Amino acid sequence: MRGARNIGTKLRVARIFSALQPSETRLGRNLQPKRSEAASRRVFQLLQTDPSSKARRARLTTSHGVIETPAFMPVGTQGSVKAMSPRELREVQAQIILGNTYHLFVRPGLEVIRHFGGLHRFMKWDGPILTDSGGYQIFSLAKLRKITDDGVHFQNHLDGTPTFISPEIAMEIEATLGSDIAMVLDECPPWPCERDYAARSLEMTIRWAKRCKQRALTLHGGAVACAVPSAPAQGIATPINPLRTADATAQLVFGIVQGATFADLRRESAEATVQIGFDGYAIGGVSVGEPEPEMMLAVENSEPFLPADKPRYVMGLGTPPQMIELIARGVDMFDCVLPTRLARNGTAFTAAGTLNLKNAEFTMDRGPLEEGCACPACREFSRGYLRHLLKAEEILGLRLLTLHNLHSYLDLMRRARAAIEEGVFAAFRREVVGRYATRGNDVQPES
């Protein structure tokens, strides 16, 4: 995009929204925050832990609302969760959605979004938004980009226009979008990759993270939290000259852990990223084609070196059993395109696994898509009718299936939170993972 290199001189400082105080409503018998009243306005509150695993029940406060975790974030790459309106997202109780910096930078462009007062006002969504920095596009658009230490040179995937995103530009774009959580720019190594490549990529990602934090602080006049852990994980030194605010009055910035499938690189990345100091930490470079055991190992090799008092976010996955297994490994937040993408292919998620509603077996089926589900598709329509809509390529079929899948994912997180609150997460985990069966429809997702 023309003028991208000079974007820093053109962008306005994003508006810093007032924090919303965490709800004082008692959510469960043992769910009062494990902190003093004076700390009740802190960005992240750990409410309860599971004695049988690393599962956590917590609360993340942002400028546009409170997020109860574990939480799933529907993906709205281009300022829209496909086939869903903001009203419908609220009806299925989505707490936060995800947008993509690269795609919104390319189209509609920052001038348009700035004209409408930021991404929230542009898309009429009043809840929290997390924006990915464009790091995944560095991975997914490999044939159209060139990576240097300065940043990434793209050929715009729409019309081939040269585009450049650096760590500083990524933070400027995210500030203009006005997201509640901004991700740093990183490189996501492919799978498989050589150790030397993964190590060099990691070193650059760490350098980029430092630059992202510095630019974020400059943009927000030092108000951006970029918090340090008050109780560092074992073996992690406290970052030098930490800057944080006690209240969620600024755009939060999350660092990203990389390191491919190498355990020592994962630890190195986690420790270095925590040393810089961020408001939360994502585990990236997973679900890029690797087998599921390697994906789980990448998380297991990263999580122990992340601070317990900051949110943890695994990027770009996954299936319902994967999310439950990752909650058990200490993860708080997820995003994935599976529930919306597979809905458009005729696949529904149920507690028992996936169903391909295009199959002939459902032609005369009068039953609901899933017994006991409270979503509009299940309350009002039969499997036979939904199959008809899908086979006839009626848009209503795609919308109803998307509503159901998002409801299924979000309800799974609600049930996981309740299980942790009630001290029965171990049994809940066994039930969800043991009951779920795939039928060849679950795929490795993209962010």
State the catalytic residues.
132, 335
Q: Which two tokens stand for residue 27?
A: 């959510």
Q: CA-to-CA distance for 207 and 167, rounded, in angstroms?
A: 9
Torsion (CA) 73, 188, 184, 81 in degrees, nearest 10: -30
DSSP for 258-294, please give it: --TT-HHHHHHHHHHHHHH--SEEEE-S-SSS--HHH
Per the CB < 8 A criterion, the answer to whether 127 and 181 are in contact is: no
Q: CA-to-CA distance for 247 and 144, rounded, in angstroms?
A: 41
Closest CA to 304 of 255, 271, 258: 271
CB-based burial of residue 48 (10 Å sphere; 0-12 exposed, 13-18 middle, 19+ buried)? Answer: buried
Q: Which two tokens stand for residue 308?
A: 């317990």
Q: Which two tokens stand for residue 52?
A: 């049988």
Q: CA-to-CA distance for 323 and 334, rounded, in angstroms?
A: 8
CB within 8 A of 172, min separation 6: which ones? 7, 8, 11, 215, 219
Q: What are phi and psi of 85, to 5 degrees?
A: -90, 160
Rounded (10°) angle between helices 263-276 and 195-219? 10
Instruction: Report which DSSP code applies to 98.
Output: E
Q: Residue 21: what residue type?
A: Q
Q: Is the bond preceding 51 in cis, omega lying within 30 degrees of 0?
A: no
Closest CA to 203 of 289, 269, 285: 269
Please identify which residue in the block is written with the tokens 């599921």. 292
